[in-house]
C-alpha cells in the first residue's frame, strides 16, 4: 500500500505539475506586466522631455543670434568665429536650462550642440545637436538638425555689417529704425580710393533683417518703381549668391563664398536730377573691400521717386538692374 501510495503521490505530483508551471508563469506575467507599464511610462517621459528640449532649441537659438548681432552693433567689433561663438553660446544656455529645470525632475538630460552653420535658406541658420535623456532604466537618444529663422518679428535681428565696416570712420547711428551713415560711409570709400564716394554722404540702409516680399525680384521694376520704393523704405533684404551670409556679416565680411543676402544702400535725396555714375547701391558692392577699390564697381543713377522738390536715387549696375526687373542702360 505504502509503495502504491507513494507511486500515486508521484503521479499526482506529475499531474499537478502543469498547473504549478501555469501559475508560476501567470505570476511572472503579472509581474512582467507591471514592469512593462513602468518602462513604458519611463520611456514616454524621456521622449516627451526630449521633444520639449527640441522645441526650446530654436527659441534659445533666436535669442543667441539676436544677442550676438546686437553685441557687434554696439561695439563695432566683428566676431572672429561666429559659428563657434554661437554654438558655445547656445550650449551654455541649453546647459543652464537642463540644470535648472529638467535635471530636477529625476531625469538626466544631456544636450550637445554639435555645430552651427549655414542653412540652404540664407534667412535661416542651421543648428545641429544630440539629445540624451535618461529616466531610470530608459535612455532616449537622438540627433537633430534644426533651421533657426533670422526673420522672426518676435526676435528682430539687426544687420551687423555696416557697424563693423564704418567703426573706424566715425561710426553709424540708428535713426527711425534705419542705419544712418552720416559721413562714415563716404570716408570709408574714400580711404579705399573708390571714385564718386560723395554720393554716399548721409546715406542710409536697412537695420533689421527682413525678407523682401517682392518675389520674384523682377517685380521691383513693375508699377513705375512703386515696389522698389516700398522695398527701399521698408528696408528689405534679398537672397544673393554674391552678398555675404549672416554668419559672415557677424565676422565683418562684405562678401563670402556662401549663399547670402543683399540690401540697398540709399544715397540722400537731392534736387539734382542728373543720372551720373557712382558706386552701385548694393551693400555687397559697397562693402567688398577684399581688393582695395576693385571690388566696388559703379552703377548708373536711377530715380525711383520725386516728391516735387527732391529726387530719390539709387545707382545700379546692369546685372542688378536685370535681377530687379529695372531698365538697363
Ligand atoms: Zn526688395
Ligand atoms: Zn558666409
pLDDT at 309: 93
Q: Is residue 124 domain-shared with residue 269, that is, in the same domain?
A: no
Looking at the structure, tell me whether residues 188 and 309 fall in a common domain.
Answer: yes
Q: How far does residue 218's CA lie from ligand 1's centre (Å)?
A: 9
Q: Choose the weakest-confidence range: 40-44, 199-203, 274-278, 310-314.
A: 40-44
Alpha carbon of 236 to ligand 1 centroid (Å): 5
- Sorting pLDDT into bands at 50, 70 and 90, what band is 202? very high
Query: Three cell numbers at 27?
Result: 505570476
Residue 40 lies in a domain: no
Bridge partners for 16 per DSSP: none
Report yes or no: 39 and 137 within 8 Å, Cβ to Cβ. yes
Question: Once rounded to an integer, what is the mean pLDDT over residues 169-181?
Answer: 97
Residue 225: which pLDDT band, with cuts at 50, 70 and 90? confident
Q: How many helices (H) and strands (E) does the chain have?
A: 8, 12
Distance 203 CA to ligand 2 centre (A): 25
Check residues 119 and 138 and name the one with the higher pLDDT: 119
Nearest ligand to residue 261 Cα: 2
| Final residue of a structural domain among 103, 127, 149 | 149
- pLDDT, residue 35, reads 61
**What's the rounded Cα separation, in Å, for the pair 319 and 316?**
8
- Show the cell assigned to 205: 540702409
Question: Does the model's pTM come out above 0.85?
Answer: yes
Whether residue 304 contacts residue 232, with contact meaning beta carbons closer than 8 Å, is answered with: yes
Residue 5 included in any domain: no
- Please check whether residue 117 lies inside any domain of the structure: yes
The confidence band for 1, taking pLDDT boundaries of 50, 70 and 90, is very low
Structural domain boundaries, residue 96: 57-149
Q: Has residue 94 got a pLDDT over 90?
A: yes
pLDDT band at residue 22 under the 50/70/90 scheme? low
List all residues 6 or more positions away from 281 whose beta carbon is below 8 Å from its beta carbon.
Answer: 264, 265, 266, 267, 299, 314, 315, 316
Distance 29 CA to ligand 2 centre (A): 60
Note the pLDDT of residue 12. 62
Residue 41 pLDDT class (50, 70, 90 cuts): confident
Q: How far is CA 286 from CA 190, 193, 216, 317, 320, in A?
A: 12, 12, 24, 12, 13
Q: What is the mean pLDDT of residues 50-62?
A: 96
Question: 10: which 3 cell numbers?
Answer: 508521484
Residue 206 Cα to ligand 2 midpoint, Å, equals: 19
Quote the mean pLDDT of the chain: 90
- State the distance from the centre of ligand 1 to the C-alpha of 60, rounded, in angstroms: 29
Q: What percent of the chain has pLDDT over 90?
A: 76
Cell numbers for 42: 519611463
pLDDT digits (tens, 9 = 90+) for 204-219: 999 999 999 999 999 9
Which ligand gives the minimal distance to the CA of 236? 1
Residues 257-314: tens digit of each pLDDT: 999 999 999 999 999 888 889 999 999 999 999 877 789 999 999 999 999 999 999 9
**From ligand 2's centre to the CA of 247, what distance in Å?**
6
Cα 93–98–101 angle (5° rounding)?
A: 110
Tell me: pLDDT of 7 over 70: no
99, 121, 149 - which closes a domain: 149
| Spacing, Cα 63 to ligand 1 middle (Å) | 26
**Predicted local distance difference test score (pLDDT) of residue 103:** 76
Q: How far is the CA of 250 from the centre of ligand 2 (A)?
A: 9
Q: What is the DSSP letter of 287?
A: T
Task: Let me know whether 144 and 188 are in one domain.
Answer: no
Q: Which ranges of the chain does DSSP label H, i.e. alpha helix? A: 2-75, 82-100, 161-165, 184-191, 226-234, 246-249, 283-286, 318-323
Domain count, the chain: 2
How far apart, in whole angstroms, are the C-alpha atoms of residue 125 and residue 272? 42
Strand, helix or coil at 214? coil
Counting ligands in written order, the one closest to the CA of 214 is: 1
207 with 262, same domain: the answer is yes
* Ligand found nearest the CA of 245: 2
Ligand 2 center from residue 288 Cα (angstroms) = 13
The CB density around residue 263, as the number of other CB atoms within 10 Å, is: 27
- Label residue 245 by pLDDT band (50, 70, 90): very high
Amino acid at each position: 500500500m505504502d509503495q502504491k501510495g507513494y507511486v500515486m503521490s508521484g503521479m499526482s505530483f506529475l499531474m499537478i505539475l502543469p498547473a504549478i508551471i501555469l501559475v508560476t508563469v501567470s505570476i511572472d506575467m503579472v509581474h512582467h506586466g507591471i514592469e512593462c507599464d513602468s518602462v513604458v511610462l519611463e520611456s514616454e517621459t524621456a521622449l516627451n522631455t526630449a521633444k520639449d528640449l527640441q522645441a526650446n532649441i530654436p527659441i534659445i537659438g533666436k535669442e543667441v543670434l539676436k544677442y550676438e548681432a546686437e553685441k557687434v552693433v554696439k561695439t563695432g567689433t566683428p566676431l572672429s568665429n561666429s559659428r563657434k561663438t554661437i554654438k558655445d553660446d547656445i550650449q551654455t544656455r541649453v546647459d543652464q536650462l537642463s540644470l535648472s529645470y529638467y535635471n530636477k525632475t529625476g531625469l538626466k538630460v544631456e544636450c550637445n550642440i554639435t555645430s552651427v552653420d549655414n542653412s540652404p535658406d540664407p534667412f535661416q541658420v542651421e543648428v545641429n545637436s544630440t539629445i540624451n535623456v535618461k529616466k531610470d532604466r530608459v535612455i532616449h537618444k537622438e540627433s537633430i538638425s534644426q533651421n533657426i529663422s533670422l526673420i522672426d518679428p518676435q526676435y528682430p535681428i539687426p544687420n551687423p555689417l555696416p557697424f563693423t565696416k564704418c567703426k573706424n570712420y566715425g561710426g553709424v547711428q540708428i535713426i527711425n529704425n534705419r542705419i544712418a551713415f552720416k559721413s562714415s560711409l563716404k570716408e570709408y570709400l574714400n580711404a579705399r580710393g573708390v571714385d564718386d564716394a560723395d554720393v554716399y554722404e548721409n546715406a542710409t540702409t536697412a537695420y533689421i533683417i527682413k525678407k523682401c516680399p517682392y518675389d520674384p525680384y523682377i517685380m521691383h521694376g513693375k508699377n513705375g518703381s512703386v515696389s522698389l520704393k516700398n522695398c527701399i523704405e521698408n528696408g528689405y533684404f534679398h537672397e544673393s549668391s554674391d552678398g555675404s551670409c549672416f554668419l559672415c556679416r557677424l565676422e565683418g565680411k562684405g562678401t563670402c563664398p556662401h549663399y547670402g543676402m543683399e540690401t540697398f544702400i540709399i544715397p540722400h535725396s537731392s534736387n539734382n536730377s542728373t543720372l551720373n555714375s557712382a558706386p552701385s547701391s548694393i551693400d555687397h558692392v559697397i562693402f567688398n573691400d577684399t581688393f582695395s577699390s576693385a571690388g566696388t564697381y559703379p552703377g548708373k543713377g536711377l530715380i525711383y521717386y520725386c516728391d516735387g522738390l527732391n529726387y530719390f536715387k539709387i545707382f545700379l549696375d546692369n546685372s542688378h538692374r536685370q535681377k530687379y526687373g529695372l531698365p538697363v542702360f
